[in-house]
Structure 1
Amino acid sequence: MQKLVEVIAKSLVDYPDEVRVKEVVDGDSIVFELSVAQSDMGKIIGKQGKTVKALRTVVNAAAVKDNKKISVEII
């Protein structure tokens, strides 16, 4: 799942080498902390947050088969 977030994020930004995804497990939920270059922040968030919302939707859809609660946070 972490690789999925990383691949999607790298395809959206200008500086893919600066994309970092950290997995934090908290009980039965998993949080992916996504960090990108400051200049790429707008590309990850998108207009009115639509891009990050779509990213979260894809990750949640992939997590359904594993019965896990997953969230993506941008740092």
Structure 2
Amino acid sequence: MTDVKELIIAIVQPLVEHPDDVKLTEHETERFMEFDLQVNPSDIGRIIGKQGRVAQSIRTIVYSVKTPYQKRVRLNIVDA
């Protein structure tokens, strides 16, 4: 799953003012590969965007990735 993780980080880091504060944790459930994205509190608005458009765009790209065992990918944006 490092490919998906690298993809998310590659998309998110250029969008934020504090790229070193981007943290991504992953865990697997029976049906999903879930990724929890945490950024600096001052960057949360940049990740979500107006009316959630940036977050939805990131999720659309990530959800299109194929994973082994037919698991779906889920991206959660964690508000610290």
Query: TM-score, structure 2 length as denominator?
Result: 0.86
RMSD over aligned Cα, in angstroms?
A: 1.2
Indicate the SS of the match to 1:56: helix
Q: Say which of 21, 26, 44 aligns to 1:41.
A: 44
**Residue 20, structure 1, aligned to residue 23, structure 2:** yes
Q: Would you say 1:68 and 2:75 are equivalent positions? A: no
Q: What amino acid sits opposite 2:77 in the alignment?
A: I
Runs of at least 4 residues of structure 1 off by over 4 A?
none
Q: Percent identity?
A: 34
In structure 2, runs of 5+ residues without a counterpart are none
Q: Count residues with an aligned counterpart.
A: 74
| Counterpart position of 2:59 | 56
Q: Hey, what's the Cα distance between the residues in 2 that align with 1:72 and 1:46?
A: 15
Cα shift at 1:61? 1.2
Which structure 1 segments of 5+ residues have no match?
A: none
Rounded Cα–Cα distance in structure 2 between residues aligned with 1:7 and 1:37: 16
